[in-house]
Amino acid sequence: MQVMKRFFAMNALAMLGALAVAALAAAIFVAGFAQVAGSEANLRELEKLLEVRAGIAELRNEAAAAEFDALLEERNRERLSERAKAIGATLVVVRDRTALYATEPIGAVDLERSLALTDRAAASDTVELSGKPYMFARVDYDLPSRERGTLLLLAPMQLRPDFYLLLVGVTVGVFFLTFLLLNLWVSYRFARDVVAPVSRLKDAAVRISEGDLNGGIAEEGDGEVRELCRTLELMRIKLKEAVYLQRKYDENRSFLVSSISHDLKTPVTSIRGYIEGILDGVAHTPEKTRAYLETARSKAMLVNAMIDDLLLYSKLDLNQLPYHLERTDLERYFEDCVSDHRYEFERAGMRLTLRSELDEAIVVMVDRERMKRVVQNIFDNAKKYMNKDEGEATVLLRATPSSAIVEIRDNGHGIPEEELPHIFDRFYRGDPSRRSAESSGLGLAIAKQIVEGHNGKIWARSGAGEGARILISLNRYG
């Protein structure tokens, strides 16, 4: 809509500009013509024309202020006649369509025509009598005898048709030439700022419809066209991101399916082997049969846990899992977490302790259930890869001006430095001991997804034989 308004405004400005240039050209032409033709030519005629018009108007005003009978008095009649002759005008006094006095002879036909034409025309206008133009002024009087008195002033207009025709021709020619040039300029601007960008937008839209999302769309044109370019470019970027994410999700899905299929194959094969051993009579005693069934059940539970981890990771990866964030006291929350897992560590022959370096209560916004899953996965890794008789895990709490830092460290065999960048990758198992572990390989990947869902960060510090340190940074609110 703004483009059309601007287009019409530019055309209106072109019209006004053409009129202004035409008026200037007319003024220059008159001045130049007078310079060439001399002072007795057209400028003098124009001046005289204006003088006559002013004189007629003055006489009319004087006659309108007088009574009709006073016009017939000799003294007034002579004075008005002299003034009329001085400006080259004819004065006629009429009563009831009969001329009582005239400074120049006027026929009855011309008198009737003059009265008829001037009665219909406006005051101080022009009429044409006998093929010649006249300026006129007219004053009407209502007489007591119900007759009508009229005073007519008629002054011939001394015009030079050749000059005025030439003036009109030059003015009109300059107007149309200027209007044509300005319209060409308007059309050029419209084509440059609207038509060309829209044409390029059309080509870009065709490329996008064909799947080519790499070509950028420049912001060009004017007003709404520029906004359209910006909108289409944002659409292209978002569409490209959507295609990228869709490909990523497809790759993730394929990777997850292939990886989990490989990881599920081992426990499923074990379950099948133990069941076939029972059916084939290999477990020929009740104790051996029970041992086989217990092993098959543990493998089935492992499969179930792997499937749960896979479903959870898929939901986290696709942002389909909502977070219910609550204001939580950091130290009290981890006291509860340590208390919940202490018995499991004791059963595994390990110690679990909490150490706080906080000087004041620190509040964080967390989804308590999701964050417990993070802590559980880290604790499970600490127990699983502990290779010492006196295993120990410690939760250390500290704070910076803007963040709360949770560090979970153990005294296990640690993680080689070259593997640290990869331990949060899905299905990553570095050394042989990790590859043989019976797990989904998604524990730390899930932990990373949940922590990042809290706008936090998680990373690891370790070295071979030094134990592992998993650090979590969360935004603090107090």
Mean pLDDT of the chain, nearest integer:
78
| pLDDT the model gives residue 417 | 80
Poorest-confidence range of 71-85, 189-203, 358-372?
Answer: 189-203
Q: Is the pLDDT of residue 460 over 80?
A: yes
429 CB-near residues (< 8 Å, 6+ apart): 435, 437, 441
Share of the chain above pLDDT 90, in %: 11
Q: Is the pLDDT of residue 34 over 70?
A: no
What are the pLDDT digits (tens) for 144-197?
A: 777 888 887 777 766 555 666 777 888 888 888 888 888 888 777 777 777 777
pLDDT (mean) for 313-334: 81
What is the SS3 assignment for 476? strand
| pLDDT the model gives residue 3 | 61
SS3 assignment for 68-127: HHHHCCHHHHHHHHHHHHHCCCEEEEEECCEEEEECCCCCHHHHHHHHHHHHHCCCCCEE
Q: Which ranges of 325-385 would DSSP assign to H, the alpha helix?
A: 330-347, 368-384
| pLDDT the model gives residue 276 | 81
58 CB-near residues (< 8 Å, 6+ apart): none
| pLDDT the model gives residue 398 | 93
Residue 348's pLDDT band (boundaries 50, 70, 90)? confident
**Helix-, strand-, coil-residue percentages of the chain, each rounded to 5:** 60, 15, 25
Separation in Å, CA 239 to CA 95, 171, 179, 242? 93, 58, 46, 5
Q: How far apart, in whole angstroms, are the C-alpha atoms of residue 423 and residue 385? A: 13
Most confidently modeled of 48-52, 213-217, 241-245?
241-245
Tokens at residue 370, please?
A: 């999701």
What are the pLDDT digits (tens) for 245-276?
A: 778 777 766 766 666 666 666 677 778 887 88
| pLDDT the model gives residue 416 | 80
The four Cα atoms 296, 302, 305, 311 give a dihedral, to 10 degrees, of -100
b (16+ CB within 10 A) / e for 290-319: eebeeebeebeebbeebeebbebbbebbee
| pLDDT the model gives residue 256 | 64
pLDDT (mean) for 311-319: 69
- DSSP string covering 164-223: HHHHHHHHHHHHHHHHHHHHHHHHHHHIIIIIHHHHHHHHHHHHHHTT---S-----SST
Whether residue 391 contacts residue 410, with contact meaning beta carbons closer than 8 Å, is answered with yes
Q: How far apart, in whole angstroms, are the C-alpha atoms of residue 312 and residue 446? A: 8
Q: How far apart, in whole angstroms, are the C-alpha atoms of residue 338 and residue 416? A: 27
Q: Is the pLDDT of residue 395 over 90?
A: yes
Residue 435's pLDDT band (boundaries 50, 70, 90)? very low
- Reported as type and span, the H/E element at residue 147 is none
- Reported as type and span, the H/E element at residue 129 is strand 126-129
281 CB-near residues (< 8 Å, 6+ apart): none
Long-range Cβ contacts of 177-185 (<8 Å, 24+ apart): 178/17, 178/18, 178/21, 178/22, 179/14, 179/15, 179/18, 182/13, 182/14, 182/17, 182/18, 183/11, 183/14, 185/14
Q: How far apart, in whole angstroms, are the C-alpha atoms of residue 167 and residue 174? A: 11
Per DSSP, 386 falls in state -
Q: How far apart, in whole angstroms, are the C-alpha atoms of residue 262 and residue 243? A: 28
Rg (CA), the chain: 53
pLDDT higher at 459 or 202? 459
pTM equals 0.47
Residue 408's pLDDT band (boundaries 50, 70, 90)? very high
The four Cα atoms 59, 92, 81, 86 give a dihedral, to 10 degrees, of 70
Closest CA to 344 of 374, 380, 319, 368: 380
Q: Is the pLDDT of residue 211 over 80?
A: no
Q: Is the pLDDT of residue 65 over 70?
A: yes
- Reported as type and span, the H/E element at residue 454 is none
Q: Is the pLDDT of residue 39 over 80?
A: no
The four Cα atoms 301, 303, 304, 307 give a dihedral, to 10 degrees, of 160
Whether residue 78 contacts residue 91, with contact meaning beta carbons closer than 8 Å, is answered with no
Q: Is the pLDDT of residue 201 over 80?
A: no
Q: Is the pLDDT of residue 407 over 80?
A: yes
pLDDT (mean) for 365-390: 85
